[in-house]
Amino acid sequence: MHGRALIESPLDNKGTAFTEQERIDFGLTGLLPPHVETLQEQSERAYEAFCMKQSDIEKHIYLRQLQDENETLFYRLMLDHIEEMMPIVYTPVVGAACEKFSHIYRRPRGIFVSYPERHLMDGVLDNLIQDVDVIVVTDGERILGLGDQGAGGMGIPIGKLALYTLCGGIHPGKTLPILLDLGTNNQERLNDPMYIGWRHERIKGKEYDEFIESFVTTVKRRFPDVLLQWEDFASVDSEPILERYRDQLCTFNDDIQGTAAVTTGTILAAVAAVGGDLADQRIVMLGAGSAGFGICSQLKRTMLRQGLSEEQAQQRFYILDVDGLIYDGRSNLSAVEKSLAQSAANLTDWDCDVTGSIAFADVVRNAKPTVLVGATGHAGAFPEEIIREMAQHVEQPIIFPLSNPTSRVEATPAEILEWTEGRALIATGSPFDPVEYAGKTHAIAQCNNSYIFPAMGLGIRASGATRVSDEMFAVAAIALQEKSPALEDPTASLLPALKDIRDVARHIAVAVATEAQAQGLAEKTSPEELEKRIDQTIWSPTYAPLTRSN
């Protein structure tokens, strides 16, 4: 590249940091102001501009624009201010960005594969000239707790892949966000004159399945060694898609497996902090979508690894959907629901009617849970009377309101601490500031998938794993627990500080890659060689010298 084309390539652009010789060699003289800056000086200027933005959505737009102009500077700035900026690039602000995506759209990034152009799918992916290590794909139907956002869902793959690089060190030039545009049932989007997606009700059924099959076939042909992450698909589609394709290519669903791993790791840290064992916990899950069942399934697998029988582990779970407790007295349970359904025989001494729908309050009063997790997407789903009831039966209740964005949280940390007299151990899905209660500061861990999926990507790419197994997520959860500050100080946050997330990701990646080798999913190496490969895979935002080729 030469001249303005080089400046306009976000992966190659250095802006004012091009050296004098580079400006001569690449035809940049006069196209840039004369002073040559360092990357750190650029980062300081960019931070000053960031701070001038008045709202979070303006800050999000600024960072996305910087990413489209100079990716090295974008990631340098993000690493310099990760705790402040990660919530802007991803949750919770990315939710508002998805809702406003058509109005804040600036520059193409990634690939849109629309249903009317399905016959051109091979050509769409062939239009890419880059090699790709990681793809994040969504169909935009279930964005966070906001529902169907159609083409606006593209904000999620873009944000997720930014975290693959920021947290896991995956080279930004090796990532690809994809939006499968199958229409939308969001009437607000369809009525919006600025909506940039396909203006049609959402395609479902046989046509949907055929489209997904065609997409996977095309990806396998074009990128046979890629890691494909499914993101924010409707619950009715996410589980079947994962089961259908998990043995065909290297793939996982972050809403099911990533959420499960980070929640399991955080619960393990909380249990250790209070001096208990996971096998002794009674777990209530409010929300029976893909995230809720994924979390419970991972916790159950962890209990089995610790020596419980299938029956013993299953008795530890109380999962509620819109019809109340899921137990084997209910008809029409799916295979997944049956695997975690509570036995009616265990409910005979409950002081409520157990022949029909069993409500949330009845479950908490009778099961006396030690762990309560919310994955509902509904604000206020943890009412005061139920939290107080739980706190009567356990000294240090573990309570995780995980729904995001912040507007959808089941209860705020301040409310939970008030209702439990400051005794609860809390993790949330969205970031919350520390809470002061009775003269004590409580750090609130954000149970964010960013602790898991970038590390998974790093371990998978460095080891060359060909598939992603549930066991790889299980060891990722355990490795995350091992880095919990609460293990040394029970009053500390359950999860490491974001400033340490690259070190945490490396630790998890080693565990994941080692497990992949143990299962025969990756080439066996010595531990030293494996760690060397992981370190060589990690990309850091620095400018490389440029020289002209003859």
- List residues forming the annotated binding site for a divalent metal cation: 231-232, 255
| CA 352 – CA 330 distance, rounded (Å) | 16
Distances (CA, A) of 200 to 157, 192, 233: 22, 13, 18
Contact 143, 153 (CB under 8 A): yes
| CA 262 – CA 259 distance, rounded (Å) | 5
- Where does residue 438 rank: exposed (0-12), middle (13-18), buried (19+ CB within 10 A)? exposed
Verify whether residue 204 is a known catalytic residue. no
* Positions of E strands within 201-333: 227-230, 250-253, 283-286, 317-321, 324-325
Catalytic residue (one of 59, 160, 300, 483): 160
| CA 521 – CA 469 distance, rounded (Å) | 9
Q: Are strands 134-138 and 227-230 parallel, antiparallel or unpaired?
A: parallel
Torsion of CA 81, 83, 85, 89, to 10 degrees: 140
Residue linked to tokens 């089941």 = 410
Alpha helices (H) in 139-227, listed in sequence order: 155-168, 187-191, 205-222
Distances (CA, A) of 352 to 124, 193, 348, 359: 58, 53, 9, 9
Catalytic residue (one of 90, 245, 318, 451): 90
Binding residues for (S)-malate: 142, 404, 448
Contact 258, 452 (CB under 8 A): yes
Verify whether residue 245 is a known catalytic residue. no
* Positions of E strands within 343-391: 371-374
| CA 44 – CA 77 distance, rounded (Å) | 8
Binding residues: 142, 231-232, 255, 404, 448
Active site residues: 90, 160
